[in-house]
Amino acid sequence: MNGVSESLVHLELDYSDDEDIDTDLPDLCPSKQCLTNDNSRPLCIPTFACSRLARLLYFMIVVGLIYFLYSTYFIDGTLADQTQKQTHFNLSKASNIIGSLCAEYSKGTAAGGLCPRLCTNPNYTIADLYDSGAKVVIKFQSDSKDNILKMDKSFFPEYDQLDFSIPEDNFTDLILDIVNDRVRLDWSKKYKKHLIKLLWPTYSGHLTNAERASLWALVNQDEFINFKLLHTSRALPKVIDTCGHMYQVEYLIPFRMKGYYMNLKAKILLHLVGTLKLFDEFLNEPLQFCDVKFENLGLSGDYPKRFVVMDADMLYTQSKLRHMLTTKQCVRDTDCAFFDCESKCDATTGYCTDRLNDNIDVFCKKLVNKIFGNFWSKNNRYLAACHETPVNQTKRLNDLRLVWAWSLAEV
């Protein structure tokens, strides 16, 4: 699917019995076609205006208007999507962010393969800026293509730096520690150079101070590490290049649930299940997503039959999430609340439990049910997984694995 946004719903109303419809419409027209104005002169309503055909036309216009307002404003809840569209675009701030980084690059304090394109030979137009306080995203256009820059903080000096006098081997050890803490994949020190090469593709055994500063700023952004090291899940976009603390990622079509997409709900369901499949199959460390909503998902023709995670700050390996939860002290269950990943307080240990729900629970509750409501059929195993009770998570997951093994084999 090249993008749900390219598919439109054509509504067809089948009025096979004009008589039935006519009797249901209110009798708005008087039997006498002429009224009288203040000067006692007849004021006649054209015959067509009060005909059954005209009244049917009025009715269809009203229905169409109601549907348009519903699909545009309310399908995703209280004008949320309209609020996002009206996000203020501050061109001067976006220019200052890039300009400040280019100044660091000119001074030799920042580095990256993207820097010459942004600073030395700029040929782009800034198209948008999103700043949530926790994430900054700049959209720019170059050669008629959309490009995305991401960062946690706007300016390079805002990132803490290390003493550059430490030996490089010690510096790369620290990088290894950060990565292992973030993804809990127990990356061996024996393969440390390979790890650095993944994070900094031009690495050849030595890093300049500017490269150290830039790499350090990058690895202190959780999403950058996820995009770089969890990309093999095939549910995350690739990092194309970096400059200083900024990283450029593949452009995806942001998915916004609209009323007229309801005609495509079977395909949307297939994409959601495709994403669940990829989460489950990542190495031997199923990925856990704790911030599930359509706004965090995107589409691309390069990634068929799946949604791609656009905002991956709260995507974790199973080991990482388990460590985060079970090492957190608690007194009550609310102390263990962690967005969409549920946990409770174990009164005997004083620590939170491992995750109690799973990705399927959250996808069903926040995404699938929003599209299908309470409708489901045992013939559709994907929908049945959201409604059958009692829930045995292990059995449910195994059943789904059998289904997607053949229906989504290419994903």
The reported pLDDT for the residue numbered 22 is 38
Largest CA distance in the chain: 102
The reported pLDDT for the residue numbered 65 is 72
**What does the block give as tokens for 50?**
């009060």
Q: Are residues 122 and 40 in the same domain?
A: no
129: helix, strand or coil:
strand
The reported pLDDT for the residue numbered 69 is 60
Q: Which of 185, 217, 251 is the last residue of a domain?
A: 251
Q: Are residues 159 and 229 in the same domain?
A: yes
- CB-based contact 339:357 (threshold 8 Å): no
Q: Which of 39, 74, 109 is the last residue of a domain?
A: 74
Q: Are residues 244 and 99 in the same domain?
A: yes
Q: Are residues 127 and 61 in the same domain?
A: no
- CB-based contact 48:58 (threshold 8 Å): no
Specify the pairing of strand 239-243 against strand 253-254: unpaired
The reported pLDDT for the residue numbered 43 is 47
What's the domain count of the chain? 3
Specify the pairing of strand 246-249 against strand 239-243: antiparallel
Q: Is residue 109 part of a domain?
A: yes
Q: Is residue 195 part of a domain?
A: yes
Q: Are residues 196 and 122 in the same domain?
A: yes
Q: What backbone torsions phi and psi does residue 40 show, to the nearest 5 degrees?
A: 60, 30
Give me the average pLDDT of each 10-residue run along the chain (411 residues): 36 34 40 48 55 72 66 44 49 96 98 97 94 95 95 97 93 97 95 97 96 98 97 96 98 84 87 97 94 95 94 97 98 97 98 98 95 88 91 94 92 89
The reported pLDDT for the residue numbered 212 is 97
Q: Is residue 80 part of a domain?
A: no
d(CA 81, CA 365): 19
Residue 26 CA neighbour count, 13 Å, CB half: 3
**CA of residue 261 relative to chain centroid, distance:** 17
Q: Are residues 40 and 64 in the same domain?
A: yes
Q: Are residues 321 and 387 in the same domain?
A: yes
The reported pLDDT for the residue numbered 256 is 84
Q: Are residues 344 and 294 in the same domain?
A: yes
The reported pLDDT for the residue numbered 253 is 92
- CB-based contact 257:75 (threshold 8 Å): yes
Given the structure tokens 């980084």, which residue do they identify?
101
- CB-based contact 199:175 (threshold 8 Å): yes
The reported pLDDT for the residue numbered 316 is 98
* Closest C-alpha among 159, 153, 115 to residue 137: 153
* Closest C-alpha among 199, 186, 190, 278 to residue 232: 278
- CB-based contact 157:289 (threshold 8 Å): no
Q: Are residues 278 and 138 in the same domain?
A: no
Q: Is residue 4 part of a domain?
A: no
* Closest C-alpha among 278, 224, 263, 196 to residue 12: 263
Q: Is residue 339 part of a domain?
A: yes
- For residue 25, what are the domain limits? 17-74
Q: How close are the terminal C-alpha atoms of the chain, in Å?
A: 13
* Closest C-alpha among 224, 87, 210, 211 to residue 151: 224
Distant-in-sequence, close-in-space partners of 293: CB < 8 Å, separation ≥ 6: 366, 367
Q: Is residue 165 part of a domain?
A: yes
